[in-house]
Structure 1
C-alpha cells in the first residue's frame, strides 16, 4: 500500500466538506490515536496486528500525510499524531520490539516514495527524544525528515518517543545550555522563549485535538501547546476512524471557536505585557542604570530610551540563540544520515 494515495471525496463527502468550510476551520489538528489494542481484542487479533491496522489507518487517511484527501478538501494544513509515548517503553519487550520494527517498515516505505511526497509537498517532522530509539530507526527517521524539510504544502508531525513533560524539561535544558554558552542571559528566559525551545517550535499550536477510544485524558500529549485548544474525545477506536468522525469533531470546534479565539487573544496580550514588564525591570535595574545611565536618576524619556535599547539587545540575543539551537538540531539529523551518532 502506498503512503500517499490519490483520490477524491465522494459526492456526499464533498457536500459536507463545503458546508463545514462555510464556518471557521482548524488549520492544525492533533490526534491521540488510541484504541489499537482494544481493536485487536475485539477482533480476536494479535496485538501486533491491531497496531498494524492502526498504522494502515494512518496510511489510508489524509488527515495525515498518507492520502492527503481530507486535508486538501477540509483545508487542514498541519496534523500532529501521538505515535509512541515514552511511557510505552514500559510495555512488554516483545510488543515494544514489534512496534519498533513496524515503524522501521513504515519509514522505509516512506523513503521509497519520495517522489510522491515531493509531489504533494508533504513535510515530515518527528518530535521526541530519538536517542531512545534503535539507531537504525533513528537513521531512517533522519533521512525522512531531511528529505522532506523543504516541502511546505502539508505538514505531518509524528510524536515518537515523546511526552509533553519530557519536552518541556528538554526546553528548559536548551535554555540552560544557551545561558552556559553565553548566548542568552537568565533574564531572557520567558514563556515565549520556552515555546521556541519546544520540539514543536516550527508549528502553530493545534486548533483542535482529538482523542479516540473514549478515553478523556491527554496522556501527557502537547500539554503546553493545547492550553487554548478545542479538545474533542470520541468513542470510536482509531483503526475505525472515518471522515464523518472528523466532521463531527470539526463541528465541535466551530461551536467553540469564538471562546477559543477570545482566550488566545487574552493570553497573547498577557504574554506581551509580561515581557514588557520583564524588560522594564531589567532595563531599570541598578546594574543596567550604572552601565547606561551613569547611576543617576533618569527622566521618563531617558528611561524609555533605555527600555527600548534593552529590548533590542534582548531580541538580538534571543535571535542568535535560536539560530544556534536550530543549527544544533539540524546537525543531529545530518550526523545521523552520515552514520555518525550525535
Structure 2
C-alpha cells in the first residue's frame, strides 16, 4: 500500500471543492481515526483487517486534503493507552506500523517530489526498536520537505506531551539556559511535540464518540470540533466536505477568539517584563531598561529552543545509528 495515491475526482466532487474554496479552508486538519475495530466486527473480519482499512482511508484522505488545499494533517494513530489492549492486537498494530514506515522509506523520493514532511508525535522510547528506528529515519529523511505535513501521533497522549515540555523547561532552568521568569504559555507551547506547526483549525472524530481522548488538548483550544457517527474506514470525501463546511460556518467566531487570546498572551509577556524590571531597578524603570531586558529574554529563549530542537534531531540520529533489536 502506497503512502501517496492519486485519485480522479468526479465532476460533482470538483464542483463541491470549487464551492468550498470560495470560503476559508482549514490549513491544519487533525483527525481521531476511530471505529476500525467496530468496522471489522461489522464486516465479520479480524481486528487487524479493520486497522489496515483504516490506514488505507488515511492515505485516501491525504489525497482529498491536497485537492482541497489543506496542507497539514495530524492523525491520532496510536495512544499510549492503546498499549493496554490485548497483546495480539498491539503486536499486530506494531507489525502494521513497521510495514508502513518501511514502505514510506521506499517512497521517500516520491514524498520529496510532493514536498511531504513526516513528523512523529509521541514518546518513541515506548515503541519497539524496529519501529523506533524506521520512524526516526522517516523524520530525518523528510524533515526538509515543506509543502505539506503529515504528523502521526504514535505512542502519544497530550498529558504526556505537556509533561515532557515541562521537563524540558525544568532542565533548561536547571542548566541556567533560561530563567524561571522566562517561562510563559508561548515558551511551553514551543516545547511541545508540535512545535513548528500551527494549531489545528479543524479537528474531526469519527464513530460517534464526542470526546478528545487526550489528543492535542493544548493545541485544540480554538479548533473547530466536528464529530460524526461514521466509522473511520467508511469515511468519504463527502464527510470531509461536510466537516469543512461546518468549519466555515464557525470560522469567524473561532478566528476572533484566537486573535483575542494571542493579544492577551503578548500583553501578559510585556507586563511580566515590566514587573521584572521594576524588581531589578525600582519603580522608576525606563523604557530603555525594559527593552534591554526583553532583548535578553528573547535571546535566552531562542538559544534554549535552538539547543532543544538540535538535541531532538540528534536523538533521532542516535536512534537510526543504534543496533536494531526485534
Partners of 2:75 and 2:107 in 1: CA distance: 20
SS at match of 2:286: helix
- 2:226 is aligned, of 226, 232, 257, to 232
1:179-230: CA deviation from partner (whole Å, max 9, x where unpaired): 1111100111110000000000110000000000000000000000000110
Runs of 4+ in 1 over 3 A off after TM superposition: none
* 1:1-342 equivalence runs, <5 A: 1-59=1-59, 61=60, 63-64=61-62, 68=63, 70-285=64-279, 288-289=280-281, 299=284, 302-339=285-322
Partners of 1:284 and 1:303 within 8 A in 2 = no
Partners of 2:147 and 2:269 in 1: CA distance: 33
Q: How far did residue 340 of structure 1 move? A: 6.1
Partners of 2:55 and 2:123 in 1: CA distance: 21
Q: Which residue of 2 aligns with 1:293?
A: none
Partners of 2:204 and 2:323 in 1: CA distance: 37
Q: How far did residue 113 of structure 1 move? A: 1.0
TM-score by length of 1: 0.93
1:238-258: CA deviation from partner (whole Å, max 9, x where unpaired): 001110000000011000001
Worse-superposed segment, 20-29 or 3-12: 3-12
TM-score by length of 2: 0.97
Q: How far did residue 6 of structure 1 move? A: 2.3
Partners of 1:35 and 1:213 within 8 A in 2 = yes
Task: Specify every segment of 5 or more residues in structure 2 that has no aligned partner in the other structure, as ranges.
Answer: none
Task: Compare relative contact order (CA 8 Å, sep 6+) and give the higher one, 1 or 2.
Answer: 2
Partners of 1:34 and 1:212 within 8 A in 2 = yes
Q: How many residues align?
A: 324
